[in-house]
Structure 1
Amino acid sequence: MQISVRKFVVSVDEIFHEGGPVAETPLKRAAILAVIENPYAGAYVEDIMPMMEALKPIGLDMAARLIAALGGDPANVEGYGKGAIVGTAGELEHAALWHNPGGYSMRELLGDARAIVPSAKKVGAPGTRLDVPITHINASYVRSHFDAVEVGIGDAPRANEIVLALAMTTGPRIHARVGGLKASEIKGEDGLR
């Protein structure tokens, strides 16, 4: 199966403060979106698994582009998440095909990332927005890294398309101060603590 990509969109936020003191090092939050044709749009298809395999190269390409947008060093990435928006001729299960290719591509390129990659998905028309959840790459319980990156494209997804999303951050929220497990305290217990 060949996946047809209409376009990629990359965005990077550089956050210096949220009303408090200016950070010495700004937080960067980045997202990459790929608009692809949905080969299953318009009809119910029982076996959709071939598409999951076909998405793997796109996932790796997107993860590499996202790391490059954040400066090129995977060691600078501390948070990640993924998501998908399916056009209205598709179904929510088509977005679920992105779980493995999207998550494993980031984990592979980031090296030692242990935590599950959080995800969000929905069906929507062009311009639909999605909040991609973010957690620490090695421990899902690190509160300082709980975040979200809002994504969307004005002309996508068309009814027969899917918008695939990956998001990464370079650190905690800019003024994180609500306690909980610190990144420096991660023990690596099943990627959760």
Structure 2
Amino acid sequence: MSITVRKIVRHREETLRENGQDVPTTHVVAWVAAVIDNPYPEGYVADLVTIADEIGQEIGALLGPACVELLGEPVEAFGKAALVGLGGELEQGSALIHNLRFGNEFRNAAGGTELLPAAEKVGITGGPIDVPLKHKLDSKTRSHHQTITIVVPDAPRPREILVACVAANAGRPLARLATFGAEVAK
């Protein structure tokens, strides 16, 4: 089985100022999304894993390295998402992105070791999905906990799934929270 891609969307943004302050290092976020035909038949399917295993690596290889390349800088934080169009099921998007064949492609391209934080939901065409990011080597690094909103105005259509990889070159602009656990340390 192979995926059918309707479109690939690439987005890169640079934040130079935040809350009236210059950002010491330009904060760069990139995401690459593929809008694919939903590979699952309509209606309830008991075995979602077989199809996810068959196409997970293909989707990961399509998106993960492209996201890292678009970022154009070393990745420090990353995340992933699946937005399932109407007529599909939440579990179908989950099966695709919570598959190591998919995740390892992105993790390896980014030089990460942590699990990729994820968001998945069923949504209407043009609906947003908020994607959590965490540090690629230590998910407890608070400065790198951030959320990026992805919107593709004409996707996903019914019976499509939007799958995305997101990367950032740093933690939040002007991050200044204490390290994890500092509030309860003696």
Please give the TM-score of this superposition, normalised by the length of structure 1.
0.86
Shift >6 Å, 4+ stretches? none
* SS, match of residue 21 in structure 2: coil
Q: Provide the residue aligned with 2:184 in structure 1.
A: none
Runs of at least 5 residues in structure 2 that lack an aligned partner in the other structure: 181-186
Shift in Å at residue 116 of structure 1? 1.3
Q: Deviations over 1:51-82 (max 9, x none)?
A: 212121221221111111111x5xx1000001
Residue 145 of structure 1 corresponds to 144
Trace 1:12-91 onto structure 2 (pairs within 5 A).
12-53=12-53, 54-71=55-72, 76-91=74-89
- CA distance in 1 between counterparts of 2:149 and 2:102 reads 17
CA distance in 1 between counterparts of 2:13 and 2:147 reads 12
Conservation of the 8 A alpha-carbon contact between 1:78 and 1:168? yes
Once residues 41 and 170 of structure 1 are traced to their aligned partners in structure 2, the CA distance between those partners, rounded to angstroms, is 38
- Structure 1: state its 5+ residue gaps: 182-193
Asked whether the 8 Å contact 2:114–2:138 carries over to 1, the reply is yes
Cα deviations by residue, 1:10-49 (Å, 9 ceiling, x for unpaired): 1111011212431242010111111000122522122222
Contact 2:78-2:116 within 8 A present in 1 as well = yes
1:154 Cα offset (Å): 1.0
Point out the structure with the larger strand share.
Answer: 2
Distance 1:41 1:126 in 2: 19
Question: CA offsets, 1:117-157, max 9 Å, x none?
Answer: 10111001101100000000011111100101100211111
CA contact (8 A) 1:41 1:159 kept: no
Alpha-carbon distance in 2 for matches of 1:2, 1:139: 34
Contact 2:58–2:102 (CA under 8 A) maintained in structure 1: no
Report the aligned-residue RMSD. 1.4
Q: 1:95 is matched with which residue: 93, 96, 100?
A: 93
Aligned positions, number: 177
Q: Secondary structure at the match of 1:175?
A: coil
Query: TM-score, normalised on structure 2?
Result: 0.90
Q: In structure 1, what is the Cα distance between the partners aligned to 2:18 and 2:51? A: 41
Amino acid at match of 1:160: R
